[in-house]
Structure 1
Amino acid sequence: MAFTTALPEKTEKAVETAKVPALYHTLPARGDINDLEVYHSWTHVIDTTAFELELAGVSGKYSSGLASFLCAAYSKKQPILLVGPNTNDIIQAFCASVTHLDHIHGILYCEGKFNHQVIAEIGTHNEDIVIIHNLLGSRWMNGLPEILSKKDIFYIVEHPYAEDIQIEPRSLYNFILPVFTEFLVDKKAEGGYRGGYFTEVLDPNKAPEDNHVRLKSLPKLGLPALVKNQITSLAASMHGIYPEVSGDDDFLLALLPIAYATMKMDKLTESLDSSDIALSKDLKSRMEYVLGDIQ
């Protein structure tokens, strides 16, 4: 009984209060920028980010596509749910790649009861990226709109297991778009990320867009209009930032994750069979065990 007796109410509150400062903290701006790349163009940003992502374990086949996707999301402040292996290293590599002279990013741990005091602290340090841990399955899920309320911050939620994202309510994806790393990563992360920073001539919040891009299979997934528009807008920025974005990149970053998360994989299979999406032979063979044979 001594081990199962509840703490007195006053003690419980004291413990909860003691944990509050650790739930959210920020990392300071980098002091020495002499060895960092200086960005004058989006091409330079993508090249550097792709290099850093490869150090984080991302395959060279997909590093530029993922770099363009993350940079587009960062520019638009579109929250992202990064799911799978090497997520922490990918986030570290990306944060290093888009650093500023005064860059600060925050880290939020969704542990215990939802805490309004912790959420109110987000953005008070001029941070422009916030990394969120332990969101799925926590008591913080219902507070997601409040967590994401600061519109000038890029939020990245990380989670290790792709299977868990189907358990969450589908309305989650009105707020945040999922991305799988399983198909992008092919090695262990090396670490040692350095990256670069934007100059005044290149505004990270004004990425170019290619509004002629069409994801033909997207309407067939039966997504809510808000989610569909978010994906379309992100794809336009991806291609605007990096015109060499491939059909494989569109599939792995913009289509497959949302189809899986919302359990619309059958619709995606139909689109592949109807040639709405052009995949490389290599990716088709890799996808056979997920979608069945793709003719």
Structure 2
Amino acid sequence: MALRICFLFLVIALLLAISTSTSVQNGLSSLSFSYSGATGPDKWGSLSPNFSACSNGKIQSPVDIVKGILTPSKRLKPLTRVYSASNATLFNNGFNIGVHFEGHVGTLDVDGKNYDLKQMHWHSPSEHRLNGVQFPAELHLLHQASDQSMSVVSVLFQFGKDDIIISKIKDKLTELAKETCKKEEDAQIPLGTVDINEFQKKSRKYFRYVGSLTVPPCTENVVWNILGKVRTISKDQLNALKAPLDSACKNNSRPLQPPNGRKVELYDELRDQ
């Protein structure tokens, strides 16, 4: 009799454990997002209370940089970036491919305030547009200051020659795609030392405005700096960036957001001469 009671308690415990595990997994999956369907951009704000800014925010990104909201600025200074070689890791978090940097890799100066480079990631097609033109890809270099505020340097890409930075990690992208096929969540591949000094070249032209992160939780008051020089990327490289992503995120571009009265400042060295 005692043996039967013990067995009954064991069965109940196992059922409770399975039920709890399933509940947790369902809860986590309900907080995930994608770029289409029931978890697409128009639903992000309802997926979690933490994502409310995605629906209710008033200074969201991306935007279309058109003449109507563009203001030439004499107060803006050249965009100063100083980067050095650093150990880095290539990652696939499901909704984009990126590179995480270890330690201090460099800084971005925005109006005298320093922001440290933390990571960079790609979107395709581009999220920001120039006068209605959408580009094949866009790179975001995410920087964060000591007070946790953020600033992003955005690089737009058109089809053409291979991009130098992507060429350095092309083999690792192939390896990352294989890891993803194994259903490894948040697959990561060590890159060793990565040098991105290509991105610290002087920018003669850039656009600045205050917006948000373009993925949940869509945090606002992010200072955006979209470089005026459009770089090139090959179709093979773009395919390599898309290959590891989930099918619902291969086109991982958030739709345009209303400017809501915001102006985009233009720094143009040649114009000011």
- TM class by shorter-chain length? under 0.3
The two structures have a TM-score, normalised by structure 1, of 0.20
Task: Tell me which protein shows more helix as a share of its residues.
Answer: 1
Of the two, which has the highest radius of gyration? 2
Task: Tell me which protein shows more strand as a share of its residues.
Answer: 2
